[in-house]
Structure formats: structure tokens, C-alpha cells
Amino acid sequence: MTLVHHNGKTESGNLAQQRPRVLIADDQPSILDALELLLGPEGYHIEKARSPRSVLAALQTGSFDALLIDLNYTRDTTSGQEGLDLLTQIKTLDSHAPVIVMTAWANVEVAVEAMRRGARDFIQKPWDNARLLTILKTQIELHRAVRRAQHLEAENQILRGQGYPELIATAPAMQPVLHTIHRIGPSDANVLITGEHGTGKEVVAQMLHALSPRASRSLVAVNTGALPEGTFESELFGHVKGAFTDARTERIGRFELADGGTLFLDEIANVPLRQQAKLLRVLETGEMERVGSSKTRRVDVRLLSATNADLRSEVEKGRFREDLFFRLNTVEIHLPPLRERREDIPLLAAHFLNRYAARYRKSIAGLDPGALQVMLHYSWPGNVRELDHTMERAVLMARGSRIEASDLGLDQPRTTAQALEDMSLEAVESILIRKALARCNGNVSQAAEALGLSRGALYRRMEKYGI
């Protein structure tokens, strides 16, 4: 079975369909009403504020495509200082918000100062309707273009270079998996994908996304096991400029990137306990805040998660929240290890062989029967991922037109003292890791404990040795 991933529209499609939200601020109700009468029929969603405090309160609870603000709010005040101070506070809350200031003829110098402080343009009172509409439309289009560029760049950084491998599944053990994927793929149900390291959990997530109504939107994948606890919130929820020492610019989090699409959280068991409550809140309410911001943002995300740990056991031990487990586990898909679906090994090997032969421009006809026999009898502690790396190495090592058993590097290691003396430290370490994974049936947590390593340290070594 083949999965073809099509990455379609991101936030840009959504933005084009949304009514622009504009916050207008003035202390005179007649001005607010006149602006609403002008802008409402033009398709703008209007919110009104009569004081700087009201403006800041609105920004704390919502996002706007533009702000149209007066520079004076206290009766008989014409200095514009209130508006300038408000503008500084607005830029602190949202540095990208396009602010257009309104000023009387006598306050043009104040308007110029507002431009220096970050205002995008200014309107003179009494305003010209056509000019006001043109300025507002231009600034909103520019703001949305910047947001689209930010989302695309952040998305490209995550997805750049990622391939979407095929799911080859003909073994009887894989049929229940395929049936479940096709039953629940078109739904919005949260799915927990379980199985040993390297069994293809991310491929299943890609299939579920491709079958869903969200297929034209983004699939954003996050390996939570690789996230240090200190950056977890920033990676998932984003942060504002100045939120912490290294926060030199705003950052869009993975939840926002996946808005309207699918978020895949791999190694979900590694989420720190104190962060699980924040993750649960987003799943229950669809609401979140960037680190350093009190502004609540809403996201519409389908969550797919994966783990090779026994989450039920983690719940019993108090290391994983039961309410979060139930929220993640609307449906569970368990992937069998490669040793339980050996019927797929020849097809998988041929698939990877063809890929790497083309990549490295080597003319290789296929596998020698002896090589296939070795592969069918090997335990594959690293599962499909290890098979993938093994075939890449074999293609590189092959001297003839067919892959020989010696090209695979899967011979059982010699155990004599002399054999160990002939090996490098890295070779011995690789053998010990494979043996530990085999004894623990591919459970990375158990293997790490047996080897005296942290999960992260073992993952780094597995990546190094292609396991």
C-alpha cells in the first residue's frame, strides 16, 4: 500500500476567507459610530474602544488585522501623548500589528512621531472616506502577506527535506492496522499510535492525515522526546519577543502552524508531567497563549500522538495524567514489530534497495537469496527503520550487481576476547545497543535503563548507528 502526501494550503487559504478584524478607538461615540457605518458595509468586523485601557484589554483577548486609533482620549487634550504611549504599549503586545493613527490637522507633527514609534500610516480628521479605505485595505493586505510568509517559513523549516515514505503492508498482522486507518482516517478523532521504535508510526500518522478532510492543510510533526523541557512550551505554543533571554523575535508554535490541519506528537510519553496540563487544556478548549503573552489564541487541530511506552503503566505509576491519556486515546492503533510481519521484509527491502540504488546511482539488480535468508532470520530490534538503514549501507557496500549477505552487516557478532579486540569501541557499542533492544522487544525505555543511559542518550546513539 502506498501513501502519497500532498502538502497543500497553509494559513494563507484561511486568511483570505476571514473577515478582516479591525479595532477602532476614539473617546467620541459619534466618531466610532461613523467609522462603523463606513467600514461595516465594506466587509470589516469592527470592535470599538473608548480608552487606551479598553484597547489593551481587547488586545489581550483577541487578534486584529488592523488598529485605527485616535491620539487623544482626555477632554481638551491635544498633545497626542496618550496615543503615543498607547502605541508603545500596543507594539509591546503585538509588534506586527498594523496601527493607523487618527489626528487633527494641527497634530501632523505628532502623527509623524507616531510613525517613528511604529505606526504604519495616519489619517487626518475629518477624514476622506476613499483615502481611509485605501490605507486600511493596503495595511491589512500587507499584514496578512507578512503572516503568510512567517507561517510558510516556519513550516518550511520543519518540513524541509522530509520525505514521505511508502507504507508497505501485506502481512496478516498488518491488516487490522490498515482497516482501522481507513475507518477512522476521514474522522477528526484523536489517535494514539503505539508500537516499538522504528515500526512506522509517523507513516501511519501521514496516512490518517491524507485520508482526512484536513488533507489539504498542514501535517506538522514534533518529536517531543527530543525537546528539552525548557523549550517545550516555546516549541509547541510559540513565544513573543522578549519572553526570555534568547527570544529576540516572535516565534510561531507548532499548534498555530497546524491550525486547521493535523499535529503529530511523537514520543508523547516524554512530555514532562507539569507540561501535560497545558497540553490537556489546548485539547479540551482549543485555547492557548504564546510564552510571554497573555493573549489567548484559538486553534483547530486534530491531534495524532505516538509512543513506544506503555502509557497505561505510566498512568498507574503517576508519570502520565489519566485525563490526558483518555483525551489522546479516542482510538488506538498498535503497530506490530517487524519480526511479527516477516512477510513484508522482501517487499520492504526491495523498496529501500530501489530508493538507494537511484540515490547513489548504482546499478543493482536485487538481493542474493543468501542475503534475503539472513534478513528473514534477523530479529530487527530497530524494526523498519533499521531495515531502511541496513539497505542503504548494503547499497553503498555492494561490489557486484546483487546485494550479498556480507553487504548487510547483520552477521551475528563474535563473542571471543579476540573478536572484541578486533572491534572499535563504536562497533561494540552498536552491538550492545542492538542486543539490549532485542532483549527488551524494542522498548527504548527498558533498553536505556538496562544500558544505564537516559532515553535521550540512547536515541542519539541509535540515530548515530542507524538503528
- Report the phi/psi class of residue 334: left, alpha or beta, with left for phi > 0 and alpha for psi in -120 to 50: beta
Residue 289 lies in a domain: yes
- Which residues, in sequence order, are CB contacts of 224 under 8 Å at separation 6+? 232, 265, 266, 267, 268, 270, 271
Residue 316 lies in a domain: yes
Sorting pLDDT into bands at 50, 70 and 90, what band is 41?
A: very high
Residues 25 and 139 in one domain: yes
For residues 37 and 406, what is the distance between their CA atoms, to the nearest angstrom?
80
Residue 1 lies in a domain: no
Residue 129 lies in a domain: yes
For residues 218 and 411, what is the distance between their CA atoms, to the nearest angstrom?
42
Residue 302 lies in a domain: yes
The predicted structure's pLDDT at residue 453: 83
The strand pairing partners of 263, in sequence order, are 220, 303
Sorting pLDDT into bands at 50, 70 and 90, what band is 99?
A: very high
SS3 123: strand
**CATH number for position 283:** 3.40.50.300
The predicted structure's pLDDT at residue 162: 46
Residues 139 and 214 in one domain: no
DSSP string, 268-322: GGGS-HHHHHHHHHHHHHSEE--BT----EE---EEEEEESS-HHHHHHTTSS-H
The predicted structure's pLDDT at residue 151: 62
The domain boundary residue, chosen from 279, 310, 336: 336
Residues 84 and 52 in one domain: yes
The domain boundary residue, chosen from 319, 336, 353: 336
**CATH number for position 454:** 1.10.8.60
- Total structural domains within the chain: 3
- For residues 222 and 238, the answer to whether their CB atoms sit within 8 Å is no
Q: Is the pLDDT of residue 124 over 90?
A: no
Per the structure, the complete domain to which residue 458 belongs is given by 340-465
Residues 348 and 321 in one domain: no
Residues 380 and 318 in one domain: no
Residues 326 and 217 in one domain: yes
Residue 415 lies in a domain: yes
Residues 226 and 113 in one domain: no
Q: SS3 sequence, 36-104?
A: HHHHHHHCCEEEEECCHHHHHHHHHHCCCCEEEEECCCCCCCCCCHHHHHHHHHHHHHCCCCCEEEEEE
For 234-240, what is the mean pLDDT? 85
For 185-189, what is the mean pLDDT? 91
- For residues 222 and 364, the answer to whether their CB atoms sit within 8 Å is no
Element (H, E) at 332: strand 331-334
- For residues 295 and 63, the answer to whether their CB atoms sit within 8 Å is yes
The domain boundary residue, chosen from 312, 336, 360: 336
**CATH number for position 66:** 3.40.50.2300
Find cell 512506522 and name the residue: 200
Residue 165 lies in a domain: no
For residues 214 and 305, what is the distance between their CA atoms, to the nearest angstrom?
16
Per residue in 83-92, pLDDT (tens digit) is 888 998 888 7
- For residues 294 and 255, the answer to whether their CB atoms sit within 8 Å is no
Residues 371 and 454 in one domain: yes
- For residues 221 and 466, the answer to whether their CB atoms sit within 8 Å is no
Residues 236 and 209 in one domain: yes
59 or 425, greater pLDDT:
59
- For residues 250 and 292, the answer to whether their CB atoms sit within 8 Å is no
Mean pLDDT score across all residues of the chain: 83
Sorting pLDDT into bands at 50, 70 and 90, what band is 295?
A: confident
The predicted structure's pLDDT at residue 29: 92
Residues 227 and 129 in one domain: no
Residues 142 and 274 in one domain: no
Residue 93 lies in a domain: yes
Q: Give the global pTM.
A: 0.61
Q: Is the pLDDT of residue 14 over 70?
A: no
Burial tier of 220 (Cβ tally within 10 Å: 0-12, 13-18, 19+):
buried
Per residue in 246-274, pLDDT (tens digit) is 767 778 889 999 999 999 999 999 888 88
Q: Is the pLDDT of residue 4 over 60?
A: no
Residues 141 and 284 in one domain: no
